[in-house]
Structure 1
Amino acid sequence: MATPPTTPAPEPRPPPPVPALFRVALAPLQAFFRLEASSGILLALCALAALVWANSPWAATYTAVFDAPLSVALAGAEGHFTFREFINDGLMTVFFFLVGMEIKRELSSGELRTFSRAVLPLIAALGGMIVPALVYLAFNAGTPAQGGWAIPMATDIAFAIGCLTLVKQRVGHGLVVFLTALAIFDDIGGILVIALFYGTGLHAVWLLAAAGVVLVLVGFNLFSVRWGVAYALAGAALWYCMHHGGIHATLSGVVLGLCIPSRPTRRGMDVLQELQSYLNTCVSEPEDETRRGAQILHIEEALEDIEPPLNRFEHLWHRWVAFGIVPLFALANSGISLAGMGREELLSPLTLGVFFGLFVGKQVGIFVFTWVAVKLGVSSPPGNASVGQLHGVSVVAGIGFTVALFVAGLAFPTQPVLLTEAKLGILLGSLLSGVVGYVLLRFVTKPSRAVASPE
């Protein structure tokens, strides 16, 4: 008796096509997020939205939303905070986590991995931190606002790189790399300043506990632990210990980022040879949907061994930070009420100190320190830049937004009038730096000669 032919399993149905209307609606959004300057643009829009919201007929809702009380209870302990504090002290830890990973990547395999590559942006960053602080103190030394001297020291890398992207045909890649490395050193300087000068009084027992957690994280790094949950739990413990130890808890994110392994756990050739043997065995196995899914999962897990955890975590969190946390931070902290604000506030020493620190101090410090270093033969010009291009990039570096607002909140946590004046100086100084820097670079030709002494 002949065996009846078996009916082949039906092929899985392809997913239904996306309606044309949705494709048309999503296309501009997808194009925006592929744009290099998109995170900086979104950040600017959120800052503008906060400013408009805080000065609209619905200004009370702005305060109500971000000052809304929240609480969390865990194991008998209860914490109370506002929505703004949750953003500034909680979500911004993830921002600093990404900063820590970026610093480690640049130090291990990027532009800061050798002294010769790192020396010029380091010198420029020192000028971009020292001079703005001195300019600020020239206006505010001996006043109640003196403690905000670190506010104009920071460069906002998202805004600054976004500004250079708008003139990328006029600016060489070397200058973009120079500004990025400079901003990384700015971040390191800002982190040290926050840790040393903006704590709340040190508590030895909690700091010892924090040191113990750091040792655990160092062990994770040495043994190339890849499990994200392990780092999340250790990071949460470190945040709690640093919060009670008197060091600003968001810096736990930096420490956590520096402890993420930057090397793959296995050699790429070993993994590829193993996969080749595995694929040879798969050819002889019967094919079905369940088996195919298991094979794909095995291949994905094997390929993850080639990718360093640092790259994987950075890729995972970059968009959440750039398009979620930082814009939300800008929305929560840029809402300055201009009601009743007049010449006195605009010309207050604090506002002027921050404004001139960012717009004048930054460009003078970075340009002069870099120009002198080049003239002394310490390093060659970044990207063979001309004097005009170097000056334009120095002006753009005066866009100090995210970290500047963060430091302002630490400097004047219980002084709303001073905090408002500081925010006003940050917004005006960053805006003018961006506009003037763009105009300067827009009319400068492509790099063609070394930095020369100005005529």
Structure 2
Amino acid sequence: MPSIPAQRGRTRRILTLVNRREAARVSRLLRAELPGGILVMLAALAGFIAANSGLAEGYFALRDTRVGPEALHLDLTLGHWAADGLLAIFFFMVGLELKREFVDGALRRFSTAIVPVAAAFGGVAVPALIYVAFTAGTPAAHGWAIPTATDIAFAVAVLALIAPRIPPALRMFLLTLAVVDDLIAITIIALFYTSGIELWALAAGLAVIAVYGLIARRFAPGLARSGWAPWLVLLPIGVVAWALFHASGVHATIAGVLLAFTVPVSGRGGTQLAEVFERRFRPLSSGIAVPVFAFFAAGVAVGGDSRFPFDPIALGIMAGLVIGKPLGISLVTWLLTRFTRAELDGAVRWRELIGVGALAGVGFTVSLLVTELSFDDAASADTARLAVMAASLLAVGVAAAFLLRPRRARG
């Protein structure tokens, strides 16, 4: 039997997830995500209602309207502009948070990163395997990554509504889990959902991103103080990088992540610049970019071409998000606490951790994006969209069942 000092040593490894500075930063971030998550829900609901009402004809005509310069191959539909263009802003914010976590957050230390990182991989692998089990041997298997993503804004909004008083360690666990989940999703999109690559455009895009990074680092203090320089200097450079990535065949949202990675988050003026960018661009991301994408992506006619709910695509997505996510996250966390020196925070109960794992099954934004990249035929795409939305609602119900018990029943 392990000695008491050894037990305390193990416990301290997880308790380092929550110190006062990191807990305060996480609380600020969660509060910032809450309004955006609620707005995304409302926008998705509006799109779904519009697609299934007398407004359907006008709604689909609006979504399919083409705008942009044809000579530059940017004559895209408004739906594609939302997925390829506006979501680049969302992925820029994801990239900023990723870098902050790896440079100045919980992920900078192996001892505090190992549990949420491993749990995130479990929460990706198990849903993917479940989906493949339903679709193996068919073209639909290409959508294996759809049930692997977590929508942090949506999940945070739901968490604040159903379990506002869960332990701080679990809040940080969910945030870190979602951040790593986003990194995995970005890597999957870049590696597996890229068509033919135009090397000249990719090389030019990377060169433009390097210029962006040099300017951001060299003039970080001035950019942080200026009200107009980030918009008039860095934004146009970012748009050029996005356009080149779009032309290269790599999904254009990846440009947003790489641009964010070049923003300094430590050193003289660095942290201040990252914070300024977050403060200025988050309303654009959570208030406009993601809700507009959700409005168009959620517009699926129930009586249309979809084969929901008994098609293997729908079953694989729903089982992956609702069952696979909490199973993968909880199983990997249990294995770590069983066979390594890691232990859960003493304030955390397994029931609550399973509930947070279930909440990670709210895949919405990134899952809908991967759906756009996975299927060319409307029937499969609509089936997958409906499955993502239904699974996200079911995941909320499962999470509530684990997180809403009276406090006296804990343990």
The superposition leaves residues 86-134 of structure 1 with CA deviations (integer Å, 9 ceiling, x where unpaired) of 1111111111111111111112222222111111110100000000000
Question: Quick one: which of 367, 374, 380 aligns to 1:418?
Answer: 380
Q: How far apart are 1:340 and its partner, in Å?
A: 5.3
Match of 2:390 in 1: 428
- Note if contact 1:385-1:447 (Cα within 8 Å) is conserved in structure 2: no
Question: Quick one: which of 224, 239, 263 aligns to 2:266?
Answer: 263
The superposition leaves residues 148-183 of structure 1 with CA deviations (integer Å, 9 ceiling, x where unpaired) of 000000011011111221244541111010000000
One-letter amino acid of the counterpart of residue 198, structure 2: H
The superposition leaves residues 50-106 of structure 1 with CA deviations (integer Å, 9 ceiling, x where unpaired) of 111111122101101111121237xx7463111111111111111111111111111
| TM alignment of 1:205-224, pairs within 5 A | 205-224=200-219
The verdict on how the C-alpha distance between 1:158 and 1:212 changes in structure 2, with shifts beyond 3 A counting, is: same
One-letter amino acid of the counterpart of residue 105, structure 1: R
Match of 1:138 in 2: 133
Q: How many angstroms apart in 2 are the aligned matches of 1:350 and 1:395?
A: 20
Match of 2:44 in 1: 47
Q: 2:361 is paired with a residue of what secondary structure?
A: coil
Kindly report the root-mean-square deviation, in angstroms, between the aligned alpha carbons of the 2 structures: 2.3
Identity percentage of aligned residues: 36
Question: Quick one: which of 328, 331, 347 aligns to 1:384?
Answer: 347
The superposition leaves residues 204-225 of structure 1 with CA deviations (integer Å, 9 ceiling, x where unpaired) of 2222222322332342344244
Q: How many angstroms apart in 1 are the aligned matches of 2:272 and 2:410?
A: 38
1:81 aligns with 2:81: no
1:125 aligns with 2:120: yes
One-letter amino acid of the counterpart of residue 272, structure 2: P
Q: How many angstroms apart in 2 are the aligned matches of 1:318 and 1:380?
A: 34
Match of 2:54 in 1: 57
The superposition leaves residues 324-371 of structure 1 with CA deviations (integer Å, 9 ceiling, x where unpaired) of 2111111111011012578x5310000001010100110100010011
The verdict on how the C-alpha distance between 1:210 and 1:77 changes in structure 2, with shifts beyond 3 A counting, is: closer
Q: 1:345 is paired with a residue of what secondary structure?
A: coil
Match of 1:161 in 2: 156
Question: Quick one: which of 310, 321, 335 aligns to 2:299?
Answer: 335
TM-score, L = length of structure 1: 0.77
The verdict on how the C-alpha distance between 1:365 and 1:77 changes in structure 2, with shifts beyond 3 A counting, is: closer
1:92 aligns with 2:87: yes
Q: How many angstroms apart in 2 are the aligned matches of 1:115 and 1:35?
A: 27
List structure 1 segments (4+ residues) > 4 angstroms apart after TM superposition: 446-449
Please tell me whether Structure 1 or Structure 2 has the larger radius of gyration of its CA atoms: 1
1:115 aligns with 2:78: no
- Note if contact 1:136-1:356 (Cα within 8 Å) is conserved in structure 2: yes
1:324 aligns with 2:288: yes
The verdict on how the C-alpha distance between 1:106 and 1:389 changes in structure 2, with shifts beyond 3 A counting, is: same
The verdict on how the C-alpha distance between 1:359 and 1:144 changes in structure 2, with shifts beyond 3 A counting, is: same
Which structure is higher in helix share? Answer: 2
The verdict on how the C-alpha distance between 1:355 and 1:78 changes in structure 2, with shifts beyond 3 A counting, is: closer
One-letter amino acid of the counterpart of residue 255, structure 2: S
Q: 1:79 is paired with a residue of what secondary structure?
A: coil
Count of equivalent residues = 374
- Note if contact 2:47-2:298 (Cα within 8 Å) is conserved in structure 1: yes
- Note if contact 1:174-1:383 (Cα within 8 Å) is conserved in structure 2: no
- Note if contact 1:354-1:422 (Cα within 8 Å) is conserved in structure 2: yes
Match of 2:23 in 1: none
Match of 1:350 in 2: 313
1:393 aligns with 2:388: no
The verdict on how the C-alpha distance between 1:178 and 1:447 changes in structure 2, with shifts beyond 3 A counting, is: farther
Match of 2:66 in 1: 69
Q: How many angstroms apart in 1 are the aligned matches of 2:235 and 2:336?
A: 42
Q: How many angstroms apart in 1 are the aligned matches of 2:248 and 2:78?
A: 23
The superposition leaves residues 414-443 of structure 1 with CA deviations (integer Å, 9 ceiling, x where unpaired) of 211110011111011110001220232010
One-letter amino acid of the counterpart of residue 282, structure 2: H
Unmatched tracts of structure 2, length 5 or more: 1-30, 224-228
The verdict on how the C-alpha distance between 1:66 and 1:383 changes in structure 2, with shifts beyond 3 A counting, is: farther
Unmatched tracts of structure 1, length 5 or more: 1-33, 267-305, 450-455
- Note if contact 1:37-1:166 (Cα within 8 Å) is conserved in structure 2: no
Q: 1:196 is paired with a residue of what secondary structure?
A: helix
Q: How many angstroms apart in 1 are the aligned matches of 2:309 and 2:352?
A: 31
One-letter amino acid of the counterpart of residue 342, structure 2: S
